[in-house]
């Protein structure tokens, strides 16, 4: 999930621009690209999906849109910074109902992972955050990342899956430049995600995570989200493990 709210860029841009319009937005997209590079992206490997949200939430890149690293990177580069308020609850809802859906590339028997990255508190409360977080946790392992000191640890804990421990299920960094410092830990936790979907026959394949030990699960779905008053969700699906990154 990528936050694309006004607070991400402040006075740097009014929305509607790409990475060049806002330095923080460029750092966010670069972070997601680095996450994607940590996995083998392919139809039968890791799949990547992206949801953005600000005042509203949108599935920008379905899990079955790109089956190669280059396609994912190109799609990420084209994502536009929007600006607006922060509708975190709807982002969680959209990730569960659209990003993690069979129609958009979710696979049975593949662990789902949702990564939420936000720089502030929700400002639109149309969707009950507690309820949406719990329902998403029922179908996916949810990891939360807070950027800047405006994000309260309790919010990150609430969104993340049990055991809801800092530096395991939720992470924080004082600024966007510090995202790289949590990249490795985030990837490692992604590779440990348990299966939360109906089990399917075990499928042999290559390990999904590069430079990390493979999980015992045949597939993994990983969803990464960054919040900028507009979120972007990214999904991955890799070889022996399917990874999907969704935006909350």
Question: In order of start, what are the domains of the chain with their CATH numbers?
Answer: 2-246 (3.40.50.410)
Band (pLDDT 50/70/90 cuts) for residue 228 is very low
Band (pLDDT 50/70/90 cuts) for residue 205 is very low
**Range in 101-110, 188-197, 232-241 with the lowest mean pLDDT:** 232-241
**Token duo for residue 243:** 């990874």
Query: C-alpha distances in angstroms, 4 versus 25, 63, 105, 135, 247?
Result: 8, 20, 24, 23, 11
Average pLDDT, the chain: 79
Give the pLDDT confidence score for residue 9 in this predicted structure: 84
Beta-bridge partners for 81: 17
Give the pLDDT confidence score for residue 74 in this predicted structure: 95
Give the pLDDT confidence score for residue 221 in this predicted structure: 54
Give the pLDDT confidence score for residue 214 in this predicted structure: 38
Angstrom distance (rounded) from CA 92 to CA 77: 23
135, with CB counted inside 10 A (0-12, 13-18, 19+), is middle
Strands in the chain per DSSP E: 2-3, 50-53, 57-61, 112-118, 141-147, 170-173, 221-227, 231-236, 245-246
Helix (H) / strand (E) containing 185: helix 183-191
**Range in 19-33, 63-77, 172-186, 203-217 with the lowest mean pLDDT:** 203-217
Tell me the mean pLDDT in the region 119-141: 93
Give the pLDDT confidence score for residue 204 in this predicted structure: 36
Angstrom distance (rounded) from CA 217 to CA 220: 7
pLDDT greater than 60 at residue 160: yes
**Range in 38-52, 82-96, 147-161 with the lowest mean pLDDT:** 38-52
Neighbours of 41 (CB within 10 A): 24
Band (pLDDT 50/70/90 cuts) for residue 16 is low
């Amino acid at each position: 999930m990528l936050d694309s709210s006004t607070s991400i860029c402040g006075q740097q841009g009014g929305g509607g621009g790409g990475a060049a319009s806002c330095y923080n937005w460029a750092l966010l997209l670069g972070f997601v690209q680095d996450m994607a590079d940590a996995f083998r992206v392919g139809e039968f490997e890791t799949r990547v999906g992206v949801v953005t949200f600000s005042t509203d939430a949108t599935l920008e890149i379905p899990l079955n849109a790109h089956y190669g690293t280059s396609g994912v990177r190109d799609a990420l580069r084209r994502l536009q910074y929007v600006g607006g308020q922060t509708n975190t609850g709807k982002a969680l809802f959209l990730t569960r109902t659209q990003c993690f859906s069979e129609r958009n590339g979710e696979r049975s028997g593949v662990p789902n992972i949702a990564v939420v990255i936000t720089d502030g508190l929700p400002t639109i409360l149309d969707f009950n955050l507690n309820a949406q977080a719990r329902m998403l946790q029922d179908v996916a392992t949810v990891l939360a990342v807070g950027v800047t000191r405006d994000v309260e640890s309790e919010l990150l804990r609430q969104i993340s899956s049990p055991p809801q421990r800092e530096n395991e299920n939720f992470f924080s960094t004082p600024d966007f430049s510090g995202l790289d410092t949590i990249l490795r830990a985030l990837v490692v936790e992604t590779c440990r995600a348990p299966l939360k979907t109906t089990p399917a026959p075990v499928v042999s394949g290559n390990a999904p995570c590069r430079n990390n030990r493979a999980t015992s699960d045949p597939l993994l779905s990983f969803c990464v989200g960054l919040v900028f008053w507009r979120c972007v969700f990214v999904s991955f699906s890799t070889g022996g493990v399917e990874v999907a990154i969704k935006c909350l």
